Structure 1
């Protein structure tokens, strides 16, 4: 927060100087307080709509851009000329480069972190499956012994417990690729650890979607994590168990994926522009809102559509992807 305020303060000061110098070309004098009001209003507009990620550029790159912008001020020592227009364009251009590079580097860093995390989850899922396979014959032997001893009830209880323990893994890996299976399993365990009820209703594997592994990480990882975090906040507020349902099926040439979860009230301002720009989120303060825009970009890349409904503290996202490879 402190870094963002420092940034906007410096940009506002530089913007006032550049614009006021440019206005000296006019035949009438413009008071500097009017220039200041205009620049502050413009910066406030961008402050509300832009997600700053300039920290990803590092101190050296940010300092270099600021130095170049400060050097431009030296040219205003000369007599006013139409070159001032060019200097203002240079100032805006440098700032656009800073914001664009920061957004790109921040996005790449976030995606890399997500991918590394999913590799870890994939390895964890593999070890779970390997462990369950290793113990399978032991469970068969135990059931065989109970049945031979005529302990049918004990065998049924033992089998019920065994099936329940396998349910968590089976829901996640059934027909899925390694990356998707790892994500589904990890998110299922994360939700259960928060006492959230989770239902996976999958007519076919989510891996059927024509996404790359990188896109699956950004798409499914963000969808499920957003649902879990929103549901956790809702649980903490209401002291009730939350529910997340994930459905995936194919109808009429479309893949349909639906996620429903409880969440706290969402403002109309956020709902109006959700999935369209960075910095908007259905969760509370402290979340950057990168995931929703990333989901939108992936869906749009495959000519898909996103519909969402918020009603009575329940948020539902329905995503439609053409079943064309």
Structure 2
């Protein structure tokens, strides 16, 4: 039994006890079980908990306090404060979840900051390396022209421009952190044999969001797209494509992301951007990215729409051009 199931079992037992103490004289035993089971099932489906981040010690401490509250309710309290133990129990659960979610958020932000710093350093290293070698390339081309080898010089220049274009696609006009995310996604795609097309009428950095929000938004979009393309390539044995378009129309910034995708169950598609814990991936994936994307869009009065048709997944985001 995993930790999450143990967690839901414990509040269920505590909740059953408190309800039975309060309403045992009017509710049959089996009805109390049905009510508690229904509440636990509903909360399990709608609330994404991160209690593991608190560790065993703090969770056991909070469970210990709830046990004490349970013993208090056994002592035959007066009617006017008989609800107090149950309210304390609910309050402790609220504290546990709020605390765990805050710790998770801080840990995630720290990890993202470290990853962004590493990506920025890598992108800067690439640009610095290209600049360092630029004069050497010019000297090589000059030598070929001096020795009447224009075809060799043209071929060399074409290869040079192509290599520079890979970096230019990611960094032109972008802030450092956004450029690093685009560049790292491009490198990951190239390593996996995925074609990435950045069709950007203007830099993504012009979105009326903070750099941190843009990085989170674009990072999750690209990560999900690349994950889907990698899975698609394994089964279909064909090259896949990710297309990112960004333009401005009628006071709206419009961001479009398209990629190949394996079929997704309708049940998951319906809830993909509306709740945590919904994911098309297996393993240890938590299904956080899609809900985070929608939260950021709604936080900035934007609109999100997505279509899964055939074996293509498309996300369209519209954000008002106001800060």
Same fold, judged at TM 0.5 (above)? yes
**Which stretch of structure 1 is more off in the superposition, 172-181 or 102-111?**
102-111
Q: Residue 266 and residue 203 in structure 1: after superposition, are their counterparts in 2 closer, same or farther (change >3 A)?
A: same
1:283 corresponding residue in structure 2: 281
Write out aligned runs for 1:63-142 (5 A): 63-79=60-76, 81-82=78-79, 83-142=81-140
C-alpha RMSD of matched pairs (Å)? 1.7
Give secondary structure in 2 for the equivalent of 1:319.
strand
Match among 307, 318, 322 for residue 320 of structure 2? 322
**Within 2, Cα distance between the matches of 1:70 and 1:154?**
81
CA deviation map 1:25-73 (0-9, x unaligned): 43xx512x33223322321222223222111223333222211111111
Give secondary structure in 1 for the equivalent of 2:314.
strand
The answer to whether structure 1 residue 2 and structure 2 residue 41 are counterparts is no
Q: Contact between 2:221 and 2:293, CA under 8 Å: does it hold in 1?
A: yes
**Which stretch of structure 1 is more off in the superposition, 189-198 or 2-11?**
2-11
CA deviation map 1:233-291 (0-9, x unaligned): 12222222111000111111111110001122222222223322221234335311212
**Within 2, Cα distance between the matches of 1:239 and 1:37?**
49
Q: Contact between 2:205 and 2:211, CA under 8 Å: does it hold in 1?
A: no
Count how many residue pairs are aligned between Structure 1 and Structure 2: 322
Q: Contact between 1:278 and 1:289, CA under 8 Å: does it hold in 2?
A: yes
Gaps of 5+ in 1: none
1:221 corresponding residue in structure 2: 219
1:292 corresponding residue in structure 2: 290
Give secondary structure in 2 for the equivalent of 1:286.
coil
**Within 2, Cα distance between the matches of 1:111 and 1:246?**
25
Give secondary structure in 2 for the equivalent of 1:245.
strand
Q: Contact between 1:49 and 1:279, CA under 8 Å: does it hold in 2?
A: no
1:22 corresponding residue in structure 2: 22
**Within 1, Cα distance between the matches of 2:196 and 2:112?**
22
CA deviation map 1:153-181 (0-9, x unaligned): 21122112111211211100001110011
**Within 2, Cα distance between the matches of 1:264 and 1:251?**
31
Residue 322 of structure 1: how far off its partner (Å): 0.9
Q: Contact between 2:141 and 2:153, CA under 8 Å: does it hold in 1?
A: yes
Q: Contact between 2:302 and 2:317, CA under 8 Å: does it hold in 1?
A: yes
The answer to whether structure 1 residue 62 and structure 2 residue 59 are counterparts is yes
Give secondary structure in 2 for the equivalent of 1:284.
coil
Q: Contact between 1:306 and 1:320, CA under 8 Å: does it hold in 2?
A: yes
**Which stretch of structure 1 is more off in the superposition, 220-229 or 47-56?**
47-56
The answer to whether structure 1 residue 39 and structure 2 residue 36 are counterparts is yes
**Within 1, Cα distance between the matches of 2:260 and 2:302?**
25
2:307 corresponding residue in structure 1: 309
Q: Residue 285 and residue 278 in structure 1: after superposition, are their counterparts in 2 closer, same or farther (change >3 A)?
A: same
1:232 corresponding residue in structure 2: 230
**Within 1, Cα distance between the matches of 2:74 and 2:43?**
29
**Which stretch of structure 1 is more off in the superposition, 86-95 or 118-127?**
86-95
**Within 2, Cα distance between the matches of 1:119 and 1:282?**
29
Question: TM-score, structure 2 length as denominator?
Answer: 0.94
Residue 97 of structure 1: how far off its partner (Å): 2.0
